[in-house]
A and B are shown apart, each in its own frame.
Chain A
Amino acid sequence: MKFFLFQIQQHSSEMPNAASTEKYYVVVGVIAILFLGIVGYLVSMDKKIKELEK
């Protein structure tokens, strides 16, 4: 995360204002949670299939 913050600070002229940047983090957080939820579902399905295959 520090790396991303550094990158954003370096190129602040190309990024929207601070309020929008905060919203960015909310969007990123929601997307990451949704994706990790899908991954969790796929991993559990992978395990169940492995058990059935045995």
Chain B
Amino acid sequence: MLKWWKIAGIVLVLYALVAGLLLPVPNLPILEQSIRNLYYHVPMWFGMLALLLASGFYSAKMLSTKDFGYDRKAVSYASVAVLYGCIGLATGMLWAKNTWGVYWTNDPKLNSAAIGMLMYAAYFVLRNSIEDEEKRARISAVYNLFVLPVYIVLIYIMPRLTASLHPGNGGNPGFNSYDLDSRLRMVFYPAVLGWIFFGFWIADLQIRIKQIAFKKSLID
């Protein structure tokens, strides 16, 4: 039997996928029906942040306890977070094409997201470049803890300080300020929660596979 949060993840994501396309949305200029992408694009970034925080937490735990099981957890959460980031970028590019007319602009939010993704890509390159397991775990944990606050500053703080096309940044209003009828919230919040649970489920499977492989390597 699956745990409650895994079932909740399935139900909430399925609800968000179906209701996101069928329930009515406010008819906003320029955005029009493309506002439905709010249910698919934004939850990816919330999910990515939650997974990266979990990854950072286990990296810190690994450094404090020297238990390499935590390193397996940290890398699994980071890999699912990067997957979410890729989906977030793809959905964002499609949305940008429909509202701004181009897939990518020289916008601080977009560029910061790309830099953030590259920093986490470097995390995996770094891991794969070190053969010694202990050294790899320690160095990648330190890098992970260094990258996490930089990522948060790049994605959530810096774009708010400069001019930006992206809603909720650089003086642009977020959706909250011009959507007061809560129709978006009915789908948006369950979508965020559902995708977070779903991401943790995928990471959980990856962690358990790695633990089995590790135990098998000890027996061999």
Contact = CB atoms under 8 A, between A and B. Distances in A.
A52 B212 contact: yes
B114 interface: no
Interface residues of B, number: 22
Contact of A8 (B6, B10, B24, B27): B24
Contacts of A28: 17-18, 21-22
Contact of A31 (B17, B202, B205): B17
Contacts of B19: 4
Chain B interface helix/strand/loop/mixed: helix
B14 interface: yes
A45 B205 contact: yes
A15 B14 CA distance: 21
Interface in A1-54: 4, 7-8, 10-11, 14-16, 24, 27-28, 31-32, 35-36, 39, 42-43, 45-46, 49, 52-53
Interface of A: 4, 7-8, 10-11, 14-16, 24, 27-28, 31-32, 35-36, 39, 42-43, 45-46, 49, 52-53
Interface of B: 2, 6, 10, 13-14, 17-19, 21-27, 33, 201-202, 205, 208-209, 212
